[in-house]
Amino acid sequence: MTDRKGGAVVTASRYPHGYASVRSLGKQGVRTIAAVDDPDLGTSASRYCDDSVLIPPPSDLPAYRDALLALAARPDVRTIVPHRPQDPYLLSRYREEFERYIDVTVPPFETLRAVHDRKRLADVAESAGVAVPETRLLTAVDDWRGDRIVKSRYNLLTEAYLDDLEPGESRIAKSIEHVPAGERPDVDGLLSTMGHEPIVQEYVSGTEYLFGALYDEGRPLGTFQHRQIRGDSYTGSGGVFRESVDIPELEAAGRAILDELDWHGLACIEYVRDETGEFSLVEINPRMWQSLACATRAGSEFPWWYWLSVTGRTDGIDAGYEPGVGSHYLYGEVEHLVSVRRKESALVERPSLLARAAEIGRSCCEVPAFDMLHPDDPRPVARQARTELERAIRRRGG
């Protein structure tokens, strides 16, 4: 069943989940409009992309919001599918303005605030009976005897969360400091670097997993799981090689926290499974996630499900998927190798560069499935490769 009454705006970036959404929606006959801040992105070249619109970067949050509102006001737009960290924040905080024109599925702003605040999220997880690493504010920690990590308290820094930011000011804070047992970090330096008081968590060693979900007013419409085999850094982070799994304990942990939040909309929940088999919560991202292509390849068509949700046809969602389906994000695999060459960690042993390169090559041959490389749609990966090559040449020349 197709629906040409309006279309979906996909906020695409250099990461591959925008393309996965455009492909998922386009194959179902939904008109797709890529909203990009870079005209050379591969997503815009896809056969499944009906239109491409250049908008300001989300670093200029007021201009980015106004551009999305202008797109929402177009008569050929039915919804905006959130992909970038700023999207759910804007769609939720300015819900009334957006809902004058379009349908959206995002949590209420107070719920979103609890998810963006990792300190509050740890409290929610404890209430839901979900394992979470011990989490404290930096200045409240006086015992550094165990391995710790220091990271931003918020997924997204904005004036709604931090009083000392100017109206409209926002930025992404991704830096993570690894602190080995017995070593006290430079607290003043971290406060200055982070721009706010970060959190300190006990370090949990293990395998990273993702639980993806789409909820409707506290009711799950569809869920998905994958095991992360490699991240874009050897220390972890976004998955660049993953495999779909179906683990009842992970399903229970994912649903428990979303049920506790009475969730509405998309959720990407990251967990670490330690040597005992317990899943510990890392964070929740209320949007489409970087490794979305693994889910869509396995049969969890979240972009299409989101469309069915906003158009009032949730009974058309077929929520099954196939375990054991893998997918690579090729540019992310390159970033992984760069991290092996350049990054240091006091908690994670750095692998051999040659051995890791051989491992990546072998896995690409054994699992030849890639986020942006499809025989029926070769232009996105060709454009992305050309763009990255041209930029690398300019950097070396400059």
The pLDDT tens digits of the residues spanning 138-173 come to 999 999 999 999 999 998 999 999 988 888 888 888
Query: What pLDDT is recorded for position 398?
Result: 61
- Pairing of β 51-54 and β 31-36: parallel
- CATH number of the CATH domain containing 76: 3.40.50.720
Q: Mark whether 189 and 222 lie in a shared domain.
A: no
Q: Mark whether 184 and 260 lie in a shared domain.
A: no
How far is it, in rounded angstroms, from Cα 323 to Cα 138? 40
Q: Mark whether 100 and 158 lie in a shared domain.
A: no
Q: Tell me the CA distances in angstroms from 371 to 29, 294, 386, one per residue in order.
A: 20, 7, 17
Task: From 86, 126, 350, select the one nearest 236 (Cα to Cα).
Answer: 350
Q: Mark whether 192 and 276 lie in a shared domain.
A: no
Residue 251 domain flag: yes
Q: Mark whether 212 and 77 lie in a shared domain.
A: no
Q: Mark whether 92 and 154 lie in a shared domain.
A: no
Q: Mark whether 139 and 237 lie in a shared domain.
A: no
How far is it, in rounded angstroms, from Cα 296 to Cα 100? 31
Q: Mark whether 147 and 167 lie in a shared domain.
A: yes
Q: Mark whether 193 and 222 lie in a shared domain.
A: no
For the chain, the first-to-last Cα distance in angstroms comes to: 51
- Pairing of β 77-81 and β 7-11: parallel
Q: Mark whether 66 and 24 lie in a shared domain.
A: yes
CB 59 within 8 A of CB 78: no
Helices (H), 206-247: none
Q: In total, how many domains does the chain have? A: 3
Boundary-marking domain end, from 150, 172, 202: 202
Residue 81 domain flag: yes
Query: What pLDDT is recorded for position 164?
Result: 84
Residue 117 domain flag: no
Residue 68 domain flag: yes
Query: What pLDDT is recorded for position 4?
Result: 41
Residue 283 domain flag: yes
Q: What is the pTM of this model?
A: 0.94
Cβ atoms within 10 Å of 139's Cβ, excluding its own = 12
Q: Mark whether 233 and 196 lie in a shared domain.
A: no
For residue range 246-296, list pLDDT tens digits in order: 999 999 999 999 999 999 999 999 999 999 999 999 999 999 999 999 999
The DSSP secondary structure of 270-283, one letter per residue, reads EEEE-TTS-EEEEE
Query: What pLDDT is recorded for position 393?
Result: 81
Cβ atoms within 10 Å of 359's Cβ, excluding its own = 16
Residue 111 domain flag: no
Strand partners, 81: 10
Residue 146 domain flag: yes
Q: Mark whether 196 and 216 lie in a shared domain.
A: no
In this structure, what token pair is assigned to residue 382? 């060709």
Residue 291 domain flag: yes
Boundary-marking domain end, from 202, 225, 250: 202
Query: What pLDDT is recorded for position 302?
Result: 98
Per-residue pLDDT of the chain (398 residues; tens, 9 = 90+): 344 458 999 999 999 999 999 999 999 999 999 999 999 999 999 999 999 999 999 999 999 999 999 999 999 999 999 999 999 999 999 999 999 999 999 999 999 999 999 999 999 999 999 999 999 999 999 999 999 999 999 989 999 999 888 888 888 888 899 999 999 999 999 998 888 999 999 999 999 999 999 999 999 999 999 999 999 999 988 899 999 999 999 999 999 999 999 999 999 999 999 999 999 999 999 999 999 999 999 999 999 999 999 999 999 999 999 999 999 999 999 999 999 999 999 999 999 999 999 999 999 999 999 999 999 999 998 988 888 788 778 777 76
Query: What pLDDT is recorded for position 1?
Result: 33
Range of the domain at 95: 7-105
